[in-house]
Each structure stands twice: as structure tokens, then as C-alpha cells.
Structure 1
Amino acid sequence: MSAHGAPIPMTSHPAGPLRGEARVPGDKSISHRSLILGALCVGETRITGLLEGEDVLDTAKAMRAFGAEVTQHGPGTWSVHGVGVGGFAEPADVIDCGNSGTGVRLIMGAMATSPIAATFTGDASLRSRPMGRVTDPMRLFGAMSYGRAGGRLPLTLVGAADPVPVDYALPMPSAQVKSAVLLAGLNAPGQTVVREAEATRDHTERMLAGFGAEVSVTVEDGQRVIRLAGRPELRPQTITVPRDPSSAAFPVCAALITEGSDVLVPGIGLNPTRAGLYATLREMGADLTYENPREEGGEPVADLRARFSPNMRGIEVPAERAASMIDEYPILSVVAAFAEGATVMRGVGELRVKESDRIDAMARGLEANGVRIEEDRETLIVHGMGPKGVPGGGTAAARLDHRIAMSFLCLGMGARHAVGVDDASPIATSFPIFEDLMTGLGASLERARG
């Protein structure tokens, strides 16, 4: 069950055509960062289009606990009166980040160079995820952490009283770790440097520059190098959050596998560090087009039109693309089941330490619905069965993972028989309107009667 309520078993029945406009929620990554950077300004930051899923609402509560004034003015419209860089107050209670790995890791970074202590926890899924990848670089700044074995939550972080800047090479491609280091560097004197061998989503760099930080990005010896000057005075901003490309993936991919479908998803953020799924789908032969390309708030945006695509074929997805689509492999594996031939996804070991072991979760769920898979530590291979070829009829375990739950509900829309999910409640963490949006397009989703 989720941390926020009882399990919600749900069944997805084979659907007629999915048609219409799918207005998905705001981008989760940008929503988290808007609240945190707003809290690190002096003055009022205004935000429209904020994702109001549980993950982001938990980050809003955390910013209040650290002393910022965070107010909702209407659906998606919020303001943050910040406390300035280094101005966080010590929270009076434990910070519960629910299911959000992004939230907890970014918040740890933002507080690690202030002389305060905070204790973090989360739901069962988050408590199982490794935090050492963040607490290790925080120690370089001078912070100290005390947690369970493996650096897992609950965990207390004691911020550095006299922080020092760091020069840190990411041991794995992770936008969360990179962002945590950059946020910690805000309150360290001098210059903090982050080096990454593979480019990861760059919302933090873009937003830091927009808030007035002195940040530069160069390529040196094949590495992407980000330099941040410490102790800036961040300027409050007015932010329009684009719609989330990771959430858009579900109505888009459901349309591709459901006969007769034609779905428009307007205003999707297409930051090149996030758009790997859509490039992959087009390589597979998906009928997916970008309409009305534009720029909003420093981010590239377009409207996506997805139509039923019966001629998709399996491909080998380049391992170097993984960082730009790491959250989208579960739904890609669903699309791959309806393609002709094998889709090979390599370099995806990071999926094993997400909200669940997503490789194992997708493999077991696909097998339960008649799809043949192969896997190892870093690879998932889906043997496609062509349009209308997936039997369905099975039930998948969501494992407290919102993307696993939504992926299998989409599978049921194109399969020959209904597909069940043991618990759809985690969907509320990132896409609280998923059920209403998909049924509005023509999907047939049924909650189990208690």
C-alpha cells in the first residue's frame, strides 16, 4: 500500500480509440526546483502550472518547515516568500518526503551547507532507496549524516557550520545528485564544480541562472563541467511550469498502441536532456509529431500529437540515451511489446534503484501478460508481439511505484484482455488526474469494489 492510503486495485480493459486533448500536469522536476529555489531567494517567487501531486506537495511542506512562506492561491498557482541563501531555519519536526527521491535529495543539498540539523523519512519505497550517493558529497562540504545501514532513511543530516566548496565528479549519471551538489554549493564560499561524464537533465543549471546565480557549463576532456559561484543573492522569479514530458509519455504511448487513437498533448516541455523517449519512439516508427514549437521560461516546448502506430519495430536503444529518458523505460517497454521484433534497452541499471527495481517489476509484469523478456543487471530486452499481439489477462505488482502502475494500465488499453494492477494509489504522487484524464480520452479503467 502507499504511504498515503489504502491500496487501490485497478483494472484496465481493452479500449476503443483514445481521442482528444490530454492536458497533463506540470513538470515534476521543475515544480520541485521552483519551490526550493524560491525558498532560497529573498522576496516573492510566483509559480503557475505547479504539479500538485503528493511528491511536490511534500516538498512545499518541507520548505515551510525550513522557514519559507509557501502559499497556494488557486489550482497550480503558488507563491514562495523565501529566506535567502543560507537562511534556512532548523525544522521542528521530521521532514517526510513521501515517495519522492527527487524531493529528499534536493532538499538535503539545499540545507547541507547551513548550520542546522534535519531528519528525513519517507514511505516504504523511499526508505529502501540509497541516500549515500547524496550524503557522500555532502560530507565533502562539511556536513555529517546519520542513517540506517546503506545510508537509508530515516536519516539525520547535520549541515556544515563552515562549509567549503567542492570539485565533484559524479560516479553515476544522476541529475538528483548533481542538483544536490549545486544547491549545497550555493552557500559555500568560492566556486563549486560538478563534472559529469554523461549529460543529465539540466533544469537546475537553467533555473539557477534564471534566479541570478553565476553558473557556467563547459565541455572539457569529454566531460560536462558545471561551475557555480557560491553565496549569490538569488532574485525571485515568475515561473510558468511546462507540462511534464514524463507524464505525457502515458497518454502518448497509450495512443500509439490503441487502434484508431489520435491524441494531442499540448504544451509539453521538450528539454533535450528529457526528450529521449520521443526520439526513440520516432525511431521505432511511431506516428508522433511536434506541433507549434516554442520557448517558455527558458525551456523548449511543443504540442505532441500521437496516433495509433501499427507498424512499429523493435530497435536497440543507445545506452548513452538512458540519462535523457531514465523514467520512461517502463512505458517504453510497454510500447515495445506491441512492436515487431526485439527492443533492446542497455545501460539501464539505474532503474534498479528507483522507486522500485523497475527492470524486475516490468519483466515480471510483462511475463504475467504473455510477453517474453530477457534481462540482466543493466539490460532489458522485450520481444515484441506486434499490434493486437499482447495477450494481457494478468495482474502486475506496482511495488509502490507510480510509473509501474501507469505503465501496466496503459498495457491493458492495447492488449487483447484486461490487465490488472494490484495498487494504483502511488499514481497520486506524480499524476493525480491520470484516471480522469485517461477515461476522458476513452480508456476503460475500473477500480476494484471493496
Structure 2
Amino acid sequence: MSGHGTPIPMTSRPCGPLTGDAHVPGDKSISHRSLILGAMAVGETRITGLLEGEDVLDTAKAMRAFGATVTDHGEGKWSVQGVGVGGFAEPDNVIDCGNSGTGVRLIMGAMATSPITVTFTGDASLNGRPMGRVTDPLALFGTQAVGRDGGRLPMTLVGAADPVPVTYTVPVPSAQVKSAVLLAGLNAPGQTVVIEKEATRDHTERMLQGFGATLTVEDTDDGRVITLTGQPELQPQDIIVPRDPSSAAFPVCAAIITPGSDVLVPNIGLNPTRAGLFTTLQDMGADLTFENMREEGGEPVADLRARYSPDLKGIAVPPARAASMIDEYPVLSVVASFATGVTDMQGVKELRVKESDRIDAMAKGLRAAGVQVDEGPDWWKVTGLGAGNVPGGATVDSVLDHRIAMAFMVMGMATQKPMSVNDGSPIATSFPIFEPLMERLGAQIVRSES
């Protein structure tokens, strides 16, 4: 479910130690990009370990609508028979991206320089999110966009028939915006240049190079300069998707705050542009170790072991780290509630325009659970109560946001009283096996009648 159907209230009860192996799903960011670049290559791309959450499945449907042959072979194995750069067909129907901001923005970029017209929509959450941050730079290529007030979905894009290459400086750190511009640049002649003042997750750059695109990355005084040569013939790839560090965050953080816990999370992608949470947890004093460090498919990978950490300390999280852990701040704020002292999170205004206003949603839920939270436009501070001292006992509005719902389910495992959310259905968009995985570790999560 992704906000389309009946709400699923959930309650997480205080539990005993969490123990065992947590095999989390494949990385969502890499799964989206594997399908899109596979569809833009010539020949068959084979993907192992694809995340089969609703967000990624909606991207698979979209690639089929553009003319690619996308086949599910079972057990996370998929293949994509691509149509080549510039080969997208005009879809017969509206493209529904469900809850996925990543999916819709990347797909917009991929089709923006083809002479086709596409209408995009999503669920209630996605249709409330701003698209101007992507459609504005795409307009530089010659793409036209018409949407609802405030640049919101449903929205129709008319791809550029004669695209021109662009040079674009990303105004705020956003891997989605950077990736949309790079994907659009694939079908533009000449060189498209993206400049980002703060480095964001670089899966798109790594994968473009893997598919055979000519792409260079240079660190300069002006920032990170990415130069892509347009109109390549992308070569199909065999891709092994590492497991998602954003999904790993939930069993890892649950183990750190739940007494007696010892959890191993195998095969986690540790791309340095994604691993900020784990560094932050270690800075707070968490017992977190990396085992069996290796590289798979151009991405660093390791097994993560997380143990109960009763002596966590609040810290000031460096603002420069925000881009590498932007999706993990909700669950980090839960961990901060069980630390002593203040955890200060600055430079995080991006959280206000995610699937929800995540600062507002987490602040309200944490306060209801007995935790002090102070907030501003681009910052928030959580004053921790120490291990075992968080009251809990609240029912929280998940605001159709999977990460809000999962964060409070994690919190309920270590609070004095259970924590509930009014709707856990959005969890299926990114982590469809969250409940059974956590229950196998020892969590007590129950669904209740709405």
C-alpha cells in the first residue's frame, strides 16, 4: 500500500533482545537506476537483488510503458531489454509513480529530451511534493512542463524535440535533481555539465560509467563538476544490487537502543555518499562494526554488526554530512531520544519537502512520546532522556511516509509503553518485508483494526 488504500494501524511493543541476521532488501536508489538505464541501453540488462517494493515496481511499469521489455524472473532476478538512448515510445496512459519522488524525478529526466508527451501522477503524498526543482533545469534542454499550482503533480511533460546541452549548478544538495539532469543529457548533443557544491549520492555517475557513457567527475573550487558526453550507445550490464543502507538503518538503530541486542546486517552498500548515518552512530558511541569489507559492482559493501549501546551521547551532526544521510534523520532522531544530551541536526531543510515534512512529523511524534524537540526551518534538536527512560505510549500520524512509520515502530521496541502509528501501509513502498524481518529478530509489531 502507498496511501492508495485502507490505512493499516500498527503498534510496536517493548521487546526483549533483537538477535540474528537481518537480510534487508536491495538498494532502492540503485534498483530505480538499474531499470531506467537498462531501458536506455541496447540489449539485455540482467539485475539480481532488485528491491521489489512498490516504488521500484512502479518504475518497472513505467519502463514497460516507454517500450522496454521488463521481465520478472523470480527471487529478485529481473531483465530489461532496452530501446536505446532516445528510443522511448510515447506511453498510451498516464504514468503513475505511486509514492516515489525518486522514481518520478528520474523518469522525468530520462524522457525529457525525447520528442514524446507524458503525463505523470502519484498518490496523495507524491502529488503534494514540488517538481519545479526538476522541471526548471529540464526546461533548459527545451522540455515543457504543465502541472498544478506550485509545480505539483499531475503534470504533463513535453520532451524536447531538438534538445541542447546544458550547464547547471544544483542550487541545493539533491541527488534526484542531479540525476534527472544527467539522464536528460544522455540524449542531448555535446556535453552536459552538472555542478554540485555539496556532493550527493553518486550512484547515477557510477552506473552511467558502468553502462559505457563518457562521464568525468572533477573536484574544483566551485564544487564537484560532472561532465557527460551525450548521445552514447549504452551497453547492457549484469548488475548485482547491494542491500539498501537506508533500509538497514532500521534494524541497526533498533538493535542499538534495545537492551541485549546483537544483529548482523549482511551485504550492505557502503557508498561514502550514503553511509553518513553509520558514521554518526559511531560518533554517538554506538557499538557498530563493519565486517568482511569488499567491493561488488563498483560499490563498497560490508556486513554490519550492531549491538545494544546504553551509553549513547548526543552530538552535533556536521551539516556537511546531511546529504549522505538525508533519509536517515527520522530514525536517527529516535536513537537521539535514548542518548544523553542534545543531538543537533543542522542544514536539513530538504527534510521539509520529502514524502512529508519529516521534521514536523517526527517532532510531533517524539513530543507525544515524552521527548523534547526544538526545531527551525532547516534544523532540529532532540534532547535525549537516556537508555530506558523514554515514556512512549503515543499514537503518531505517519503522514503517508514510510520512514516516519518505520521510525516509530523502531522507537516502540525500547520505550516504556508501546508506540503506534495510524497507518503503516506506506512501508510497503520501500521495505515490504519490514514486519516479518523485525519479528524474526524478536520485535513485537502488531496490526490493529482501523
Query: Shared fold (TM-score greater than 0.5)?
Result: yes
Kept in 1: contact 2:138–2:184 (CA 8 A)? yes
Kept in 1: contact 2:2–2:428 (CA 8 A)? no
Please give the secondary structure, in 2, of the residue aligned with 1:302: strand
* Cα separation, 1, equivalents of 2:15 and 2:296: 34
Please give the secondary structure, in 2, of the residue aligned with 1:124: coil
- Who is 1:195 aligned against? 195
For normalisation by structure 1, the TM-score amounts to 0.99
- 1:265 corresponds to 2:271: no
* 1:449 Cα offset (Å): 3.4
* 1:150 Cα offset (Å): 1.2
- 1:207-242 deviation per Cα after TM superposition (whole angstroms, max 9, x unaligned): 000000000000121400000000000000000000
- The alignment of Structure 1 onto Structure 2 pairs a total of residues equal to 450
* Cα separation, 2, equivalents of 1:98 and 1:71: 20
Please give the secondary structure, in 1, of the residue aligned with 2:150: helix
Amino acid at match of 2:317: V
* 1:284 Cα offset (Å): 0.2
Please give the secondary structure, in 2, of the residue aligned with 1:58: helix
* 1:84 Cα offset (Å): 0.1
* Cα separation, 1, equivalents of 2:204 and 2:404: 26
Amino acid at match of 1:389: N
* Cα separation, 2, equivalents of 1:86 and 1:383: 52
Please give the secondary structure, in 2, of the residue aligned with 1:271: coil
- 1:400-434 deviation per Cα after TM superposition (whole angstroms, max 9, x unaligned): 00000000000000101100011000000000000
Amino acid at match of 1:112: A
- 1:327 corresponds to 2:330: no
- Who is 1:303 aligned against? 303
- Who is 2:168 aligned against? 168
- 1:233-281 deviation per Cα after TM superposition (whole angstroms, max 9, x unaligned): 0000000000000000000000000000000000000000000000000
* Cα separation, 1, equivalents of 2:284 and 2:21: 24
In structure 2, the gaps of 5 or more residues are none
* Cα separation, 2, equivalents of 1:247 and 1:4: 22
- 1:29 corresponds to 2:29: yes
- Who is 1:313 aligned against? 313
- Who is 1:405 aligned against? 405
* 1:322 Cα offset (Å): 0.4
- Who is 1:177 aligned against? 177
Kept in 1: contact 2:3–2:425 (CA 8 A)? no
- 1:10-37 deviation per Cα after TM superposition (whole angstroms, max 9, x unaligned): 0000010000000000000000000000
Amino acid at match of 2:191: Q
- Who is 1:98 aligned against? 98
- Who is 1:381 aligned against? 381
* Cα separation, 2, equivalents of 1:293 and 1:421: 37
- Who is 1:158 aligned against? 158
Instruction: Report the aligned-residue RMSD.
Output: 0.7
- Who is 2:81 aligned against? 81
Please give the secondary structure, in 2, of the residue aligned with 1:80: strand
* Cα separation, 2, equivalents of 1:429 and 1:117: 27
- Who is 1:236 aligned against? 236
* Cα separation, 2, equivalents of 1:4 and 1:211: 35
Amino acid at match of 1:377: P
- Who is 1:133 aligned against? 133
Please give the secondary structure, in 2, of the residue aligned with 1:3: coil
* Cα separation, 2, equivalents of 1:21 and 1:219: 39
* 1:9 Cα offset (Å): 0.2
* Cα separation, 2, equivalents of 1:3 and 1:164: 38
Amino acid at match of 1:303: D
Please give the secondary structure, in 2, of the residue aligned with 1:162: coil
* 1:2 Cα offset (Å): 3.8
* Cα separation, 1, equivalents of 2:316 and 2:449: 41
Aligned ranges for residues 398-437 of structure 1 at < 5 Å? 398-437=398-437
Runs of 4+ in 1 over 6 A off after TM superposition: none
- 1:204 corresponds to 2:214: no
* Cα separation, 2, equivalents of 1:137 and 1:150: 16
* Cα separation, 1, equivalents of 2:316 and 2:359: 16
